[in-house]
Structure 1
Amino acid sequence: MKSQENIKYPLILDGGMSNVLESLGCNLDHPLWSAYLIVEDPDMIVKAHLAYLNAGAKCITTSSYQATLEGFERIGLTRTESKAMMLRSVELALKARNIFLDGSSQNKTIYLAASIGPYGAFLADGSEYKGRYDVTDEKLKEFHTEKMRILEETAVDFMAFETIPSLREVKILNQIIADCKKPCWISFSCSNEHSLNDGNSIIDAVKSISSNKKLFALGINCTAPRYISDIIKNILPFIQDKKLIIYPNSGEIYLPETKSWKGISDPVTFQKMASEWLSSGVDIIGGCCRIGPEHISRLNFLTS
């Protein structure tokens, strides 16, 4: 594991996993979404990681966003096999990093972040876009703790708690992150410049967790780009000594009923907006849903 103290900022993240997999011909119409390929076609995961590394990403996120023990068990895997699939998500990222570094003539540092999505991702019904779950606090804490315990024992550098849509889930994660063995970041998903997806204040969410010593970064992901500049202005005074992380989606609208996207993604516009965000104080930058390698490659023009 590399120390986050040695990171050269701004740090460029990768983009969305699912859009690259779909471009490679993968069918993601499955309750486990892209995590299904950890089981069925792991080489495609490696190819997706490599697409971002070749585009200039310095930190790639594991394919474990929607990977859970319960989810794998639902498709017939045993508990032991399910845990092995969770660990495989890290192995695939490591494999991609090794392939990339072996083919590079330069001495590069590539970081790995273990993706831990919200409880709503496990439900696979679009709940992460609402942040309202019919589940107890105890169940939420058990869900996240179990996944964290498995992934924190791997060779990842960071734990990425991402697309968190509700203040309730943030407060529960604050307890869990305090006991994590690895440096963590948390990123919230917002419905506008003021609110998390559940309607609570983004400022309240930041205030509730910004003093956590295990967090080295916090910010926003899977949020429409048009809201990002105002969100940065709203939360920057409250992030204390943390790094500010931003990786929005493309601004397209996801339709859970058809599992499709509505709208257009433009890398040139993304680059212009990213330039503004970096000028506003963003330390870690990348993309989420529908942000691809072409978008990430343009970030290198801004950070070189």
Structure 2
Amino acid sequence: MSSDARPDPVVLDGGFSTALEARGHDLSGLLWSARLLRDAPEEVVAAHRSFVDAGAEVVISASYQASHAGYARAGLTAEQCDADLEASVRLAREGADGRASVAASVGPYGAHLADGSEYTGYPHVGRVELREFHARRLERLVAAAPDVVAVETIPELLEAEVVVDLLREIAPDMPYWVSFSATGGGRLTGGAPFAEAVGVVDGPAVAVGVNCTAPEHIDELLDSARATVPFVVYPNAGAVYEPETKTWTDGGTPRFSPATIRRWQGLGAGYIGGCCGIGADGIRGIAHAVRG
């Protein structure tokens, strides 16, 4: 099928931490952007709204870093985590303002370690531990009634399999996508081939793809795989993550060119947005490219 015959991709939002940092917030703590779910909920709403105003059709909740294990490391209770998971969907809905759908973010196991593991993988972590990490948070996020679940920045194929299995058990009709943390050579950052990883989705999956991956790798990744659903693509700006400071080094680009967006569309991307380093202006550019 030619790119001309494809429907316009759905425009996702950009890097939520990028939007919050642009508003002056320090996100260097263990909870990263999830801290503001309790400390400054109005700022969470405003950040979501900035992406909707820029043309995003889907906003992704601030629950990426909200996990029970992560909250325990930060000295908070499981009940506080439950409340913040629910709040993340509610605040995203408020920020969406009736103009965008809400995706509940499910970040990877590595996120709670706060050491950049989502960009290196953790092959030593087994199925039982991964299920224990994800089960309760998935239950709480699904109970908050998002429109879709966004399983994000996953470096390990096993982790994706575990989360998809849990979704089958908890909410077999809930739409979801899985997006992997990936790198050059057509592989996940944990090492598995992307072409193999796309086969993990089934049932009500709406997409499978990559996020928080350098844009220079996207073409190779999409070209390496054939999926039964559209690709979801929301790269970062191409900078390098520094886990010690929980910041991104200078580098990369805050915008993707219209030609790049059209090329990803031609390779099967049905959902396109941005991740770390891509702010509201970058999403505005994507919206113009796909609708122009």
Give the TM-score of the pair, scaled to structure 1.
0.88
Secondary structure at 1:152's aligned position in 2?
helix
Corresponding residue for 1:300? 287
What is the Cα deviation at residue 133 of structure 1? Answer: 5.5
> What is the rounded CA distance, in whole Å, between the counterparts of 2:73 and 2:181 in structure 1?
27
Q: State whether residues 189 and 196 of structure 1, in contact with CA within 8 Å, keep that contact through their aligned partners in structure 2.
A: yes
What is the Cα deviation at residue 270 of structure 1? Answer: 4.1
- Find 2:179's aligned residue among 187, 191, 202: 187
> What is the rounded CA distance, in whole Å, between the counterparts of 1:221 and 1:260 in structure 2?
17
Identity %: 37
What is the Cα deviation at residue 86 of structure 1? Answer: 1.2
What is the Cα deviation at residue 268 of structure 1? Answer: 4.9
What is the Cα deviation at residue 132 of structure 1? Answer: 0.8
Question: What do the CA deviations read for 1:90-136 (whole angstroms, capped 9, x no partner)?
Answer: 111111123xx4xxxxxx4x110000011001111111111116433
Q: State whether residues 32 and 66 of structure 1, in contact with CA within 8 Å, keep that contact through their aligned partners in structure 2.
A: yes
- Find 2:142's aligned residue among 146, 152, 165: 152
> What is the rounded CA distance, in whole Å, between the counterparts of 1:189 and 1:78 in structure 2?
29
> What is the rounded CA distance, in whole Å, between the counterparts of 1:80 and 1:144 in structure 2?
15
Q: State whether residues 13 and 60 of structure 1, in contact with CA within 8 Å, keep that contact through their aligned partners in structure 2.
A: yes
Say yes or no: does 1:249 pair with 2:236. Answer: yes
Corresponding residue for 2:278? 291
Amino acid at match of 1:56: G
Distance 1:156 1:27, change over 3 A: same
Q: Which runs of 5+ in 2 are unaligned?
A: 1-6
Corresponding residue for 2:20? 21
Q: State whether residues 271 and 295 of structure 1, in contact with CA within 8 Å, keep that contact through their aligned partners in structure 2.
A: no
Amino acid at match of 1:116: V
Please give the root-mean-square deviation of Cα atoms over the aligned residues, in Å: 1.7
> What is the rounded CA distance, in whole Å, between the counterparts of 2:259 and 2:50 in structure 1?
22
Corresponding residue for 1:119? 109
Secondary structure at 2:251's aligned position in 1?
coil
Corresponding residue for 1:104? none
> What is the rounded CA distance, in whole Å, between the counterparts of 2:17 and 2:232 in structure 1?
21
What is the Cα deviation at residue 230 of structure 1? Answer: 1.3
> What is the rounded CA distance, in whole Å, between the counterparts of 1:70 and 1:81 in structure 2?
12
Q: State whether residues 255 and 281 of structure 2, in contact with CA within 8 Å, keep that contact through their aligned partners in structure 1.
A: no
Amino acid at match of 2:289: L
Corresponding residue for 1:3? none
> What is the rounded CA distance, in whole Å, between the counterparts of 1:266 and 1:74 in structure 2?
34
Give the TM-score of the pair, scaled to structure 2.
0.91
What is the Cα deviation at residue 62 of structure 1? Answer: 0.2
Q: Which runs of 5+ in 1 are unaligned?
A: 1-7, 102-107
Question: What do the CA deviations read for 1:188-210 (whole angstroms, capped 9, x no partner)?
Answer: 11121411111121112123x14
Secondary structure at 2:207's aligned position in 1?
strand
